[in-house]
């Protein structure tokens, strides 16, 4: 008979004063799942009644010995973070040294930090507590603007409901996007959540649509079938000057479609991969510098697309994916330049008079460069157009 697959052991460590919702999120996400890949254990430092903030006490029968068999340990937050005992710190440190994945929800980050597990790492916690975490544990790089931080073997989430985002992220890592999406439906939660914290999770869980999105999915499935991964994704749409298109066409093509493809492709891009967004100086510097009137819809759309991709950078960094913006002058031989030349020949002539225009080959050579001359954020390459850079 075949040997049954071993379930991934998850231990939720509930300490006195644990927040009811913080505790319930991992228990429900990992434990209440028929046929799921996880086995759930709840433990505490001293077995017995454990006070809960905002709810009756929990009666927990397992102590710290339960951590010894865990593949993943989740520490929910406490209403008032207090340093854990030496026994708790030692048990967590021992588990981490053994290779156990360590996870905190909300102020549970304080417990991991006290055990020394966040030293030299990025981490987050509830936004009301980020300053305190940075003050109490200066060896931790606290990021207050994200829903969660994935440092590989150590993961931390922001406050309360952000724990759902982190649990779904972990399920996506362990069991794949389809399982994470199914679990999100069971939890009645968004598979991917965006917001003011600029935290974007990979996008293959976008709801099914017809038309272009289905074609994108089919294309990426073919890439996966042929090559298994996608090392570099180059986004180089530039439309909106065609005759007869509706007023929103340039924004849909140069922003919406580019960002959608980037999100869909994230699961195929390995650590060390790159997303390259190709834009023009006219769009990159819009609205700070003048733009030919006929090119304005394109410039506005591409600038919006660049802004949206830059907002994804915190998540890309956690995945080890670089975002490179390649901004070039008008490129000889490009379709957009040809269309602009028909409509406004003086605009193209003025650029040619200022300096020779780069060619498609020249832009390609610059994109191959591993150590480009960059702007202030370290990830923008400029090609041609000296006047724009002065």
Residue with tokens 């650029």: 351
Contact status, residue 66 vs residue 11, Cβ threshold 8 Å = yes
- 106 among known catalytic residues: yes
Which pairing describes strands 55-60 and 101-104: parallel, antiparallel, or unpaired? unpaired
Catalytic residue among 106, 167, 369, 376: 106
Give the tokens for residue 11: 């231990």
Residue with tokens 């996608």: 230
Q: Report whether 136 contacts 123 (CB < 8 A).
A: no
For CA atoms 80, 83, 87, 93, give the dihedral sign. Answer: positive
Cβ proximity of 349 and 292 under 8 Å: no
The H or E element that residue 43 is part of is: strand 38-43
Query: What is the SS3 assignment for 276?
Result: strand
As given in the structure block, the two tokens for residue 282 are 């006219």
**Dihedral sign, Cα of residue 286, residue 291, residue 293, residue 297:** negative
Task: Please give the torsion angle defined by the CA atoms of residues 346, 364, 284 and 356, in that order, rounded to the nearest 10 degrees.
Answer: -30
Euclidean distance between CA atoms 288 and 303, whole angstroms = 11
Distance CA 165, CA 183 (A): 11
3-state secondary structure of 345: helix
Question: What is the rounded distance in angstroms from the CA atom of residue 321 to the CA atom of residue 362?
Answer: 24
**Conformational region of residue 198, where left means phi above 0, alpha means psi within -120 to 50, and beta covers everything else:** left
Cis peptide upstream of residue 193 (ω within 30 degrees of 0) = no
Which amino acids are annotated catalytic? Answer: 106
């Amino acid at each position: 008979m075949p040997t049954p697959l071993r379930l991934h052991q998850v231990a939720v460590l509930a300490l006195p004063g644990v927040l009811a919702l913080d505790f319930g999120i991992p228990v429900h996400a990992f434990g209440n799942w028929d046929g799921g890949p996880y086995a759930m254990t709840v433990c505490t430092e001293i077995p017995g009644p454990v006070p809960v903030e905002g709810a009756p006490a929990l009666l927990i029968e397992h102590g710290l010995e339960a951590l010894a068999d865990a593949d993943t340990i989740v520490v929910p937050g406490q209403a008032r973070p207090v340093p854990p005992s030496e026994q708790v710190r030692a048990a967590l440190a021992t588990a981490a040294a053994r290779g156990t994945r360590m996870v905190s929800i909300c102020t549970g980050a304080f417990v991991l930090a006290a055990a020394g597990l966040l030293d030299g790492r990025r981490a987050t916690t509830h936004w009301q507590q980020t300053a305190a975490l940075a003050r109490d544990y200066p060896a931790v790089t606290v990021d207050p603007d994200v829903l969660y931080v994935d440092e590989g073997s150590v993961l931390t989430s922001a406050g309360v409901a952000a724990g759902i985002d982190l649990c779904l992220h972990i399920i996506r890592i362990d069991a794949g996007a389809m399982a994470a999406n199914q679990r999100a439906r069971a939890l009645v939660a968004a598979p991917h959540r965006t917001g003011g914290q600029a935290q974007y999770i990979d996008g293959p869980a976008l709801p099914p649509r017809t038309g272009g999105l289905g074609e994108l999915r089919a294309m990426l499935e073919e890439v996966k079938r042929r090559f298994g991964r996608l090392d570099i994704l180059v986004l180089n749409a530039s439309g909106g000057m065609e005759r007869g298109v509706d007023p929103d066409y340039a924004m849909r093509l140069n922003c919406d479609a580019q960002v959608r493809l980037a999100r869909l492709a994230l699961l195929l891009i390995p650590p060390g991969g790159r997303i390259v967004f190709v834009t023009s100086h006219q769009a990159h510097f819009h609205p700070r510098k003048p733009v030919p009137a006929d090119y304005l819809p394109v410039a506005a759309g591409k600038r919006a697309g660049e802004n949206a991709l830059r907002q994804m950078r915190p998540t890309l960094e956690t995945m080890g994916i670089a975002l490179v913006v390649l901004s070039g002058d008008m490129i000889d031989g490009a379709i957009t330049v040809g269309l602009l030349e028909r409509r406004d020949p003086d605009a193209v002539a003025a650029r040619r008079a200022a300096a020779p225009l780069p060619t498609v080959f020249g832009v390609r050579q610059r994109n191959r460069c591993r150590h480009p001359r960059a702007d202030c954020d370290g990830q923008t390459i400029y090609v041609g157009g000296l006047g724009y850079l002065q």
